Structure 1
Amino acid sequence: MKRLFLRVMAGAVMASALVASTTAATAQTKTLKMQATWPASQTLYENFTYFVERVNKLSGGTLKIEAMPAGQVVPAFEVLDATHKKVLDGAHAWAGYWTGKNKTAILFTGGPGGTFGMDYMDVMGWFYHGGGLEYYNEFYQKELKLNVVVFPILPSGPQAFGWFNRPIQTVDDMKGMKCRQTGMAGEVWQALGFTVVNMPGGEIIPSAQRGVIDCAEWVGGVEDLRLGFHNVWKYHYSPGLHENVTVGELLINGDVWKELTPQQQEIIKSAANETFLVWWTKWQRQNADALIELQEKHGVQILRTPPEILMAFIKKWDEIAEAESARNPFFKKVHESQKAYASAVVPYKRSYFPPYSFMANYYFPDKK
């Protein structure tokens, strides 16, 4: 009896310990509610869900994120303020949407013109080795007085020039057209004669069908295919210079960030960096497949953007950026930081990296 009693007691102790352990683990699990600015149908949203999955796995389930698409809690363009106010714990967004608050925001997306010729690796280098990430957080926390922390996470470019209802060859061909565009790129097109209309991605096709807009820029490739741009327009031009290295952001409420353990913070940082790289490589293949489908299945004409238009764009952007630098000290500081970093890496890469077109033309001659 004594031996049986001891066995029963030992079992009871073990069961209690297991329950206590499970309860403690459950109590330590933290769930964050975050919303994106994209519809769930977009692969941009899949960048978000990939990040969510990695955080869950890397934390062993102790840190979970509830991902929500655009509009589930607040409208798409209100996620920044909602994160600041802790209506949301965080958001998956694009800083170019906040240029109405301060135009410096566009520079943290890569900016129109591609930040002095830098590519994605150069821009990420500026973020992590050129002071860019520090400026990014300083911008939100000190310039805009928002209680958020931010990390780059979404490489959604290079983006196409856009979709049109007729062929274009010059800037004059576009004057008077009503086109969906956003951020400071919209200012460039406005200055060149566009009538610019800003709207979230999910509103573009309905607006086109009602005749509100004549042309539109969204992303290109698979994103545009999923939204059905080919059902409205048949002339698709690329490349563009308005978002050729555009970077989306992960926003987290500052108080929520401080409540996380150091390990949880590192998990989020690592998952964001992994998401940036792994999702981007998958996305580029999806874009390649999408262009084939757009042409062969839907009869879309994929056309090369005339160099004259690209040159007009970059020159006008330089004028606008110079004017903004003259009246906005923080814009000037960030813009000059990017130029200084580019002045080192761009000439080096031009010397060491073979032009992409050299081998591309050898194996796959350009048919455009």
Structure 2
Amino acid sequence: MLPLKAKCVLSGLALGAAVALSGPATAQTRTLNMQATWPASLTLYENFTYWAERVDKLSAGTLKINAMPAGQVVPAFEVLDATHKKVLDGAHAWGGYWTGKDKTAVLFTGGPGGTFGMDFTDFMGWMYFGGGWELYQEFFQKHLKLNVVAYSVLPSGPQAFGWFNKPITSVADMKGMKCRQTGIAGEVWKALGFTVVNMPGGEIIPSAQRGVIDCAEWVGGVEDLRLGFHNVWKFHYSPGVHENTTVGELLFNKDVWETLKPQEHEWIKSAANEAYVIWHAKWQRQNADALKELQEKHGVQILQTPRDILLEFIKGWDKIAEEESAKNPFFKKVLESQKAYASIVVPYKRFYFPPYSFMANYYFPPKAN
């Protein structure tokens, strides 16, 4: 028979082993309730669910994201205010929707006009190595006085120029056309002669079928295929320069964020960076498959946007950006920060990177439209 002291030691070891074996199963699970600005049918929403799944796996199930589609708690465009007020713990959204509060918001999506020639990698470079992320937090917390923390997660571009009911060869062909556009890009097109109509993505096809609009821009590729744009229009033009480097965001209520442990912060940020890269790689393949289907199955003409239209858009954006900078010091501050970063990386890449388009044309010669 063992002495009482030995029995106590063995009992303690057994209890410790039981706790160790139970591990994460006994750990307290935290759930964040977050809503997207997208319906569940869109691939943009799948970026949200991919990120949520990665957080769950990285945390071994101790941190979960209740990833809700648009409208489940609040209307899509109210998620920012709902996050600020802690109606939601957070949101999955796009900063261009907040330009009604301040036009600076669109710059944290990459902004129209090509972001001075930066691509999606360069945008994240500016965000994390050029002072962009600090400006991002300053914008929400000090400039807008919102109790929000933000991170980039959704590289949803480059986006197409749009869909039309007739061929487009110049800006003159667009004048007077009623076209669905949104945000600051819509302001540029309006200045160039469009009759701009703003509406959510789900209303585009019904509006086109009723003759309310003649053309529309949404995203391009698989997103447009899922919404059925090919059932209304047969002329699809790309590229565009209105959202060629456009990035969506994760928003968190700042009070909620500060209750999370440092390790939980790292899981969230690591999953966001992974979603940014891996989801985008998958999405580009989905877009390629979608364009093939649009052409071969639905008879859509995939056409190249005339360069003059792209140039006129950039000039129009520069004019609006100049006007906004003159009256909005914070807009100017962010825009100049982006340009300063781009002035370093863009010329370097133009010189140092191989000519991908040259090699693409060699191996896959473009077909005549």
**Could you say whether these structures have the same fold, taking a TM-score greater than 0.5 normalized by the shorter chain as the test?**
yes
In structure 1, C-alpha distance between the alignment counterparts of 2:178 and 2:97, rounded to whole Å: 19
Match of 1:315 in 2: 315
Aligned-pair CA distance for 1:24: 8.8
Judging changes above 3 Å, is the alpha-carbon distance between structure 1 residues 359 and 255 closer, same or farther for their aligned structure 2 residues?
same
Describe the SS at the equivalent of 2:31. strand
| 2:20 is the counterpart of 1:37 | no
In structure 2, C-alpha distance between the alignment counterparts of 1:281 and 1:175, rounded to whole Å: 36
Describe the SS at the equivalent of 1:287. helix
Note the 1:211-230 alignment, pairs <5 A: 211-230=211-230
Match of 2:200 in 1: 200
1:345 partner amino acid: V
Aligned-pair CA distance for 1:354: 2.0
In structure 1, C-alpha distance between the alignment counterparts of 2:196 and 2:208, rounded to whole Å: 13
Q: Is the 8 A contact 2:147 2:255 kept in 1?
A: yes
2:163 partner amino acid: W
Count of aligned positions: 365
Describe the SS at the equivalent of 2:111. coil
Match of 1:91 in 2: 91
Judging changes above 3 Å, is the alpha-carbon distance between structure 1 residues 21 and 191 closer, same or farther for their aligned structure 2 residues?
same
Deviation digits for residues 217-276 of structure 1, max 9, x if unmatched? Answer: 111001100111111111100000000010000111101100100000011010000100
Q: Which runs of 5+ in 1 are unaligned?
A: none
Q: Is the 8 A contact 2:45 2:69 kept in 1?
A: yes
Match of 2:261 in 1: 261
In structure 2, C-alpha distance between the alignment counterparts of 1:279 and 1:119, rounded to whole Å: 16
In structure 1, C-alpha distance between the alignment counterparts of 2:265 and 2:85, rounded to whole Å: 20
Describe the SS at the equivalent of 1:281. helix
2:352 partner amino acid: Y
Deviation digits for residues 198-229 of structure 1, max 9, x if unmatched? Answer: 22222222222222221111110011001111
Match of 1:333 in 2: 333
Aligned-pair CA distance for 1:11: 8.8
| 2:172 is the counterpart of 1:172 | yes
In structure 1, C-alpha distance between the alignment counterparts of 2:283 and 2:146, rounded to whole Å: 32
Describe the SS at the equivalent of 1:113. helix
Match of 2:151 in 1: 151
Note the 1:9-48 alignment, pairs <5 A: 28-48=28-48
Match of 2:287 in 1: 287
Judging changes above 3 Å, is the alpha-carbon distance between structure 1 residues 17 and 357 closer, same or farther for their aligned structure 2 residues?
closer
Normalising to structure 2: TM-score of the pair?
0.94
Q: Is the 8 A contact 1:35 1:79 kept in 2?
A: yes
Judging changes above 3 Å, is the alpha-carbon distance between structure 1 residues 49 and 294 closer, same or farther for their aligned structure 2 residues?
same
Match of 2:186 in 1: 186
In structure 2, C-alpha distance between the alignment counterparts of 1:112 and 1:157, rounded to whole Å: 12
1:34 partner amino acid: M
In structure 1, C-alpha distance between the alignment counterparts of 2:363 and 2:100, rounded to whole Å: 45
Q: Is the 8 A contact 1:76 1:200 kept in 2?
A: no
Aligned-pair CA distance for 1:356: 2.1
In structure 1, C-alpha distance between the alignment counterparts of 2:123 and 2:280, rounded to whole Å: 14
Judging changes above 3 Å, is the alpha-carbon distance between structure 1 residues 21 and 211 closer, same or farther for their aligned structure 2 residues?
farther
Note the 1:110-121 alignment, pairs <5 A: 110-121=110-121
Query: Percent sequence identity over matched residues?
Result: 78
Q: Which runs of 5+ in 2 are unaligned?
A: none
Q: RMSD in angstroms over aligned alpha carbons? A: 2.2
Deviates more, 1:204-213 or 1:165-174: 204-213
Following TM superposition, the consecutive aligned residue runs of length 4 or more in structure 1 with deviations greater than 3 angstroms are 10-27
1:281 partner amino acid: A
Match of 2:274 in 1: 274
In structure 2, C-alpha distance between the alignment counterparts of 1:253 and 1:97, rounded to whole Å: 18
Normalising to structure 1: TM-score of the pair?
0.94
Q: Is the 8 A contact 1:164 1:235 kept in 2?
A: yes
